[in-house]
Amino acid sequence: MAGVLGWASVGCGGDDATTVTVYAAASLSGAFEDMAGEYEATNPKTAVRLSFAGSARLATQIIAGARADVFASADTANMNRVVAGGRTAKSPVVFARNHLALVVPAGNPGDIAELEDLEEPGLVLAVCAPEVPCGALARAVLAGAEVEIDADTEETSVRAVLTKVMLGEADAGLVYATDVAAGGAKVLEVPIGPQERFTDYPVAAVSNRAEAADFAAFVTGPEGRRILASHGFETP
């Protein structure tokens, strides 16, 4: 799962539909699937094609020439890479905020009550790779808490970390608050404490197509904000 780009087409839009291709951070999957559905309902001649993966991987593909219309990143650093590569048609707009969270499987088999417990021998910790936004945040939080531990597995997206925890393949994982909600009854959140950190999510039209600018505006508009809030994202 960690190495595979996730594609989703929301709705049909008819044989003569125009397709807008959206590259979005894995942590946005639930919110953007709902957003695409609502967008298509009010724009029946437009089909939304969603591609989810880690922001670093998506940014690299866009810079290399991938035919994306819209890019929504889980941090400003990867968006800045795309901007510097001359691959945005419009200036990015920050549309959401997310907090890092420590998640454990339901039942908390590792008996983890705080970040410092991750130093206990034998515990399996899953994090995102350093180049992925949630990975950079995880390392900053661990350093701030003076917790010295090497992760047992590094994933290319935050949803891959969540899956490891949900399946019981890891005793703990560092994900986003919205991923804890997505995990439902299969996971529990352990408070991080004063080291809590957040990331901002920017979106930008990559192509010059009118549909690209329109979908990006939908994300930042009132309907987009409502959907994001329903998935636990905060207003920046």
Q: What is the pLDDT of residues 175-215, one digit of tens each?
A: 999 999 999 999 999 999 887 799 999 999 999 999 999 99
77-132 tens-digit pLDDT: 999 999 999 999 999 999 999 999 999 999 999 999 999 999 999 999 999 999 99
d(CA 179, CA 27): 7
User: What is each CA distance from 63 to 30, 78, 83, in whole angstroms?
Assistant: 25, 10, 9
In a domain, 34, yes or no: yes
The token duo for 194 is: 């004063």
My answer on whether 71 and 148 are in the same domain is no
Are the C-beta atoms of residues 75 and 95 closer than 8 Å to each other? no
d(CA 2, CA 16): 34
My answer on whether 10 and 47 are in the same domain is yes
Query: Is the dihedral angle over the CA atoms 126, 132, 133, 135 positive or is it negative?
Result: positive
In a domain, 109, yes or no: yes
My answer on whether 152 and 175 are in the same domain is yes
> CA angle, 187 as apex, 183 and 189 as ends, to 5°?
105
What is the arithmetic mean of pLDDT over 53-77?
96
d(CA 124, CA 168): 10
d(CA 168, CA 77): 32
My answer on whether 179 and 205 are in the same domain is no
Residue 4 confidence (pLDDT):
36
Domain count, the chain: 2
Residue 201 confidence (pLDDT):
98
Residue with the two structure tokens 């993966």 = 53
**Domain limits for position 218:** 6-96+200-230
**Average pLDDT score, the chain:** 92
CB-based contacts of 10-13 (< 8 A; 24+ apart in sequence): 10/36, 10/37, 10/40, 10/47, 10/48, 10/49, 10/50, 11/36, 11/37, 11/40, 11/41, 11/47, 11/48, 12/47, 13/40, 13/44, 13/45, 13/46, 13/47
My answer on whether 172 and 208 are in the same domain is no
d(CA 193, CA 117): 13
